[in-house]
Structure 1
Amino acid sequence: MTTWMWFFILAIIMQRLAELSIAKSNEKWMKSMGGIEKGEKHYKWFIILHCCFFISILTETSLNKHILTDVNYFLLLIFLAAQAGRVWCIHTLGKFWNTKVIVLPGVIVIKKGPYKYVKHPNYIIVAVELFVIPMLVGAQLTAVLFPLLHLLLLRIRIPREEKALTKAT
């Protein structure tokens, strides 16, 4: 991997760690307000998936004989658009944004910002990122495998999240 690729991957990892910190803070607030966590059993698989995602990128690019050195600006533009969407989701949900399924009974489901157009915009953004990030650094196998694994996990998560949100309102 080239220097820009290392910086790029490290920056994304740092971003994810910052988001986990925000999520933890929001989780504490929501639970102090009576929030109830749902789907604890499948959450660990998201953590495992995302950790393995970065390990897979690093492994695949280190084993790859073809070293990618140029930036694909089209993919970079898609990545930046996904980041804008990610920030929009986090900003729209504010203190309610979390990586876990935590609901506050009696609170109305937010239907503004990107949630006005799509029920689960962040899941779409993550799927795009799981494809684009590895493609940007030349990890094509990772780019195919991890969006598929993400979709499999979403087949568990989305119904549980929908059920939790429906019961909470």
Structure 2
Amino acid sequence: MKELQIRPATSADFDAMWTIFQAHVAGGETYPFEHDTSPEGAQAYWLGAGVTTRVAALGERVLGMYRVVPNQIGRGAHVANASYMVSPAARGGGVGRLLGEHSLGEARRQGYLAMQFNYVVSTNTAAVMLWKKLGFSIVGTLPKAFRHKRLGYVDAYVMYQLLQDPDHWPTRDE
């Protein structure tokens, strides 16, 4: 995908991002957002203060997006958290992998020492396989934590990856 560019998201991208967001939420298979999530709520999630958001675009056409934020505040802020959505029309074309790889680099660039996904739906096998290929491990299972639109209650995974060797992490408050 040579023409695909991953760049910072802008408010001008939000209409396309909203369309992708709505497709995922309507599917009810991958994200906990309810179908009546407002555009304002989605915009705050993706483009709010303190959120690093990137889009994958072919020219002006947005094919997917990711966001990186601290997983916790204060003493847990060295661990990043990220979310991803790919347009249904672009699934299977490598966009998710490129977003995943880019987000790991971005998290390292920002100084995060690890990345944690708090809620990967177990039945989202494409995502689980991708994250494993990119170095994540399942470190916990949340039994029946997600209310899947078709399958009912299914497990969700907590996935984790160190981004730097812990032997080289800072050892004192700075």
With the length of structure 1 as denominator, give the TM-score of the two structures: 0.31
With the length of structure 2 as denominator, give the TM-score of the two structures: 0.30
Higher strand share: 2
